[in-house]
Chains A and B, each alone.
Chain A
């Protein structure tokens, strides 16, 4: 095996990294026509609806404007509490750690198990939702488009991040990881590929579910500032 003339075969070759392109998601809500009036129907549909419906009902509230912080961001938990008045189950559903999963299949299994376990334990009264308050299964059709914002290196990335919308942030953090089944959020992936592994890990450790999107952006920027300011950044 010969190496290219003049190259140093002992050093790893530095391949040029592609720039980071910020994308955003535009969505249209699709209705499945499936509705649940009680826990049995909810469970049945949960096992049959497309994965995008599970994603929608566990994530869309993070993008919505709220006058008051919702009791639960998870629609299943919210409905079980409001319409069926099953407080304990609602809390268990809301407590499902969305960061623990890297696919919607796993998330669906966890939600279904939580309901099955609750049913198996007994001691609950079957409840029907009031008329007009059934659970309607929806999903979203996502249209992912470039925003035109591009960063060639980490300094440019953090300089441009403040101008990136919350919807774009949502796409790169929530949708890319769970719905497109990428191993981590897009920011950490790209920064890691550039060689900034500590910074990538630190961003990956941020829990996007316990922050608003504004807070998430501020925390990413703070990590970037600390890292680049410390001299670790190239």
Chain B
């Protein structure tokens, strides 16, 4: 159920909600239309599902449309996604044809109703080709780490991105030399969503037991899609090193996204790697398992997010919000969510991750201190209320393109 502004006030404080109202009052004339490629699975869909009701509650008309693509299109956009992350993989000229052909169809099918069009990620990026015809303000919201992109794919996308009025990136490292202004907006979690709200202990216990996980023994957990870039095999390697020194269990849990055709293959590889160990629990979760994911994290002792590449890695903030220390790869947005040694540890190898996990398993006070810091860090920086405020300010920035200081009276 959608939460109301008043509900957030209890979590973030009255100042934050008052500030949101003050900014929204200057943006109410503007309709914000979000367009992305999936309505379930993945961080983008999750954030949009929680943000839209908040915008509406603030009196700002915000909508969300999802483009339709066939399997071929999503295979191509997944290959683009990996290539933009800098991962190896073959990119062929036919892929660009598939993308363009689908874009032309999507252009015909997608109603463009917003005054500001917020286009998320590369899949619908080609919609901007209608800008010359219909005007409006166009923003490309990139959720991907494109600090070292495959040049073939980036050279294909760049002329499209240069048609936008602005681009948004999640980290300064992802910025490019573009003709349009670029803004930094970090993503966020919703403290009142099923994935993050408080749960009672009995429910947490029941979810663990349902997954055959022993609530009485230490639990290391990674929540993520079964994706090579999340390095689930690296997590298993780290767990095996920890296991030699401390008793523990490993939970690898995650859903899949309809626009990710690689997921099943990776899941097979993970199951093979885990087959011989009854303490490794591989839990592919169906859509709408947010309460179960919440419970798994709350029941964990230490959380991993050992990604090799990461757009942002909100699973880190989700765990920090639940006062869990996180061991993460030093990539993408993980670097700003994990303040090394304060809210968790950054690791560069399975060996490093294992050493930190042992340290945390042996030191309850360290876990508690880091957990408290993590909660505060997320409250200050990574909650949905801040995210909504940034998008509202973005609208003001688009309306005052040449002013660095905009004064209202």
Contacts and interface: CB of A to CB of B under 8 A. Distances in A.
A27 B80 CA distance: 33
Contact of B390 (A28, A50, A145, A179): A28
Interface in A126-148: 132, 134, 136, 138-146
A112 B23 CA distance: 37
B394 interface: yes
Given A30-B181, A165-B15, A144 B405 contact: yes
Contacts of A52: 404-405
A32 interface: yes
Interface string A136-168: 101111111110000000000000000001000
Nearest to A65: B380
Main secondary structure of the interface of B (DSSP, over half): mixed
A138 B15 CA distance: 27
B393 A33 contact: no
A193 to B, nearest CB: 19
A142 B406 contact: yes
A188 B181 CA distance: 36
A29 interface: yes
B408 A144 contact: yes
A50 B404 contact: yes
A211 to B, nearest CB: 20
A222 interface: no
Interface in B170-200: 172-173, 175-178, 181-185
The secondary-structure label for the interface of chain A is: strand
B147 to A, nearest CB: 8
B175 A136 contact: yes
Contacts of B183: 28-31, 141
A140 B185 CA distance: 12
A206 interface: no
A179 B118 CA distance: 31
A138 B396 CA distance: 18
A138 B408 CA distance: 23
A52 B15 CA distance: 27
A8 to B, nearest CB: 36
Interface in A65-84: 65, 67-68
Nearest to B19: A26
A62 B396 CA distance: 24
A226 interface: no
Nearest to A141: B397
B407 A32 contact: no
B175 A179 contact: no
Contacts of A35: 175
Nearest to A145: B408
Contact of B172 (A136, A140, A143, A144): A136
Scoring B175, B178, B182, B397 by chain A CB atoms within 10 A of each residue's CB, the highest score goes to B175
B50 interface: no
B158 to A, nearest CB: 12
A142 to B, nearest CB: 5
B102 interface: no
Nearest to B381: A65
Given A142-B406, A144-B405, A145-B22, A33 B390 contact: no
Contact of B173 (A29, A34, A132, A143): A132
Interface-centre pick from A29, A52, A139, A144 (highest chain B CB count, 10 A): A29
B389 interface: yes
Contact of A31 (B172, B335, B339, B397): B172
Contacts of A138: 172, 184
B169 interface: yes
Contacts of A142: 404-406
Contacts of B404: 50, 52, 139-142
Contacts of B339: 67
Contacts of B335: 132
Interface string B352-382: 0000000000000000000001001100100
B390 A143 contact: no
Given A31-B169, A67-B339, A165-B15, A143 B182 contact: no
Given A27-B393, A28-B185, A145-B408, 12 more contacts: A26-B389, A33-B175, A33-B182, A52-B405, A68-B342, A136-B172, A136-B173, A141-B406, A143-B408, A145-B22, A165-B15, A175-B405
List 8 A-B pairs, minimum CB-CB distance, nearest first.
A136-B172, A31-B175, A29-B184, A31-B182, A28-B393, A33-B177, A33-B175, A144-B407
6 contacts: A28-B185, A30-B181, A30-B184, A30-B397, A32-B175, A33-B177
